[in-house]
Amino acid sequence: MIDGITHWLIGLGASVRAGVTRLGFATRFMIAVFKASGPTFARPRLLIHELYHAGVLSLIIVLMSGLFIGMVLALQGYETLVRFGATEAMGVLVALSLVRELGPVVAGLLFASRAGSAITAEIGLMKTTEQLAAMEVMAVDPVARVVAPRFWAGVISLPLLAALFSTLGIYGGYLVAVKLIGIDNGAFWGQMQAAVDWRYDVGNGVIKSVVFACAVSLIAVFEGFDATPTAEGVSAATTRTVVTSALVILALDFILTVFMFRGSAVG
Amino acid sequence: MNKRTIDLWVGIFVAIGLSALFFLALKVGNLLNFKEERNGYELMARFENIGNLKPRAPVKSAGVVVGRIEKIRLDPKTYEAEVRIHLENQYQFSRDTIATIYTNGLLGEQFIGLEAGGDSEYLKDEESIKKTQSAIQIEKLISQFMFSQAQKSPDTPDAPTGNAAPAAGVKKK
């Protein structure tokens, strides 16, 4: 009995200690990435290559999701708004929910599963096949050569992808609201323009997406770099990237929303 | 894939990403007012109160959209709201047209309704509509209603107290 409890306590302590150590390593890793970022911008070729993989290849999924989410938003919004005879406020509903929340959050989630997991798997496999160790032997810093370009590619791509997501979503909402349901075109855009402030709503949405981009990219490169160098280790690291990114995005979104939009009224 | 193709794709990606940002700021956030092509004429209308009328709201006649509200400003001398209306050329209105602010449903957006009169002369560009009717404000209506109720109440002053007295009596028991 006593033996069992001691055993359990030892296990608990070990796992807490491992978790805190990992957090410390992640912080140290983050500082190392920032320190090693100079060469990334001095050699834009690497960055452009990674931008292609992280950004361009995520375009299709982000654009299509944005379009469909905007269309669904308009359809469901109509159900509620029509009860109050306020269907002209559809533009406001679609634009505000996309620009403030859905654009950054859903684009971030999609980016984590599409590009973040790929980055983790790539770096993890490089570690498994000892490519990173080989670079160190050749006096090439793997953080500067492999990690930093991927990190910055993520930081640059996600805000752009989030903006595209919101734009396509608003267009999808416009298609359903104006073309399908028949809401007045001028009321749709006019009320939207009256209610959406470019600094307050659009600006804060962009800040959100930049924060998510840093978080997701950092998690992706860290999980890859920290992966156990086995096939199972890489697969576990990839899973962790997606799960942690999703949780971190949603938690950060809550915190940012509290700071940005607390007590705000649309009028 | 060779380097030039990758450059091209990354260039396209960054370009459309930035243009999406500009779209959000300009068209959705209304950083600048986009002017649509001009083919039509403009009229002015003065209202005592415009309620929640917003720029770009529709102008309707007999329920048909005939134009849009261009601009709303307060006249600093008369303290009246001055509304600029942009109308399509195909719709001409007589000089004694009445402009009224209506609300679409109870909570819907507001718009201007034009009712053409019998005058044979038409309103021209930059002229103003003489007869206008302000927006109905629900708060005012409610306060008027309350006021008239309060005035009525002396006729039946005992009704509320009459109800209260037995209730108090029941409590005492």
Q: What is the 3-state secondary structure (H, E, C) of chain A?
A: CHHHHHHHHHHHHHHHHHHHHHHHHHHHHHHHHHHCCHHHHHCHHHHHHHHHHHCHHHHHHHHHHHHHHHHHHHHHHHHHHHHHCCHHHHHHHHHHHHHHHHHHHHHHHHHHHHHHHHHHHHHHHHHHCCHHHHHHHCCCCHHHHHHHHHHHHHHHHHHHHHHHHHHHHHHHHHHHHHHHHCCCHHHHHHHHHHHCCHHHHHHHHHHHHHHHHHHHHHHHHHHHHHCCCCHHHHHHHHHHHHHHHHHHHHHHHHHHHHHHHCCCCCC
How confident is residue A66, by pLDDT bands cut at 50, 70 and 90? very high
Q: Examine residue B149 and state whether it is found in any structural domain, yes or no.
A: no
Residues B27 and B48 in one domain: no
A–B interface: beta-carbon pairs under 8 A: 117
pLDDT of residue B35: 46
For chain B, the domain total comes to 2
* Structural domain boundaries, residue B84: 40-136
Residues B47 and B123 in one domain: yes
End-to-end CA distance of chain B: 95
What whole-number percentage of chain B has pLDDT above 70?
A: 79
Contact A51 B58 (CB under 8 A): no
Residue A97 has pLDDT above 70, yes or no: yes
Q: Which of A59, A84, A202 sits opposite B29 (nearest CB)?
A: A202
Residues B74 and B112 in one domain: yes
Residues B116 and B70 in one domain: yes
pLDDT top residue among A198 and B155: A198
Q: Examine residue B63 and state whether it is found in any structural domain, yes or no.
A: yes
Contact A190 B28 (CB under 8 A): no
Distance CA A117, CA A238 (A): 5
How confident is residue A176, by pLDDT bands cut at 50, 70 and 90? very high
pLDDT of residue A159: 94
Residues B73 and B89 in one domain: yes
Mean pLDDT of A44-71: 91
Minimal C-alpha gap between B127 and chain A (Å): 24
Residues B11 and B55 in one domain: no
B21 touches chain A (CB under 8 A): yes
Residues B57 and B12 in one domain: no
How confident is residue A175, by pLDDT bands cut at 50, 70 and 90? very high
Buried b (16+ CB within 10 A) or exposed e, B104-132: beeebbbbbbbebeeeeeebeeeeebeeb
Sign of CA dihedral A165, A171, A177, A179: negative
Residue A167 has pLDDT above 90, yes or no: yes
| Chain A contact set for B21 (CB, 8 A) | 159-160, 163, 206
pLDDT of residue A69: 95
| Chain B contact set for A159 (CB, 8 A) | 17, 21
Residue B170 has pLDDT above 50, yes or no: no
Per-residue pLDDT tens for B86-112? Answer: 888 888 888 888 888 888 766 667 888
How confident is residue B2, by pLDDT bands cut at 50, 70 and 90? confident
Contact B17 A160 (CB under 8 A): yes
Residues B23 and B48 in one domain: no
B30 touches chain A (CB under 8 A): yes
Residues B121 and B47 in one domain: yes
Distance CA A115, CA B111 (A): 48
B106 touches chain A (CB under 8 A): yes
Q: Which of B3, B57, B106 sits opposite A190 (nearest CB)?
A: B57
Contact B29 A59 (CB under 8 A): no
Residues B47 and B120 in one domain: yes
How confident is residue A123, by pLDDT bands cut at 50, 70 and 90? very high
Q: Any idea how long chain A is?
A: 267
Mean pLDDT of A165-185: 91
Residues B59 and B84 in one domain: yes
Q: Examine residue B159 and state whether it is found in any structural domain, yes or no.
A: no
pLDDT of residue B128: 85
Minimal C-alpha gap between A26 and chain B (Å): 30
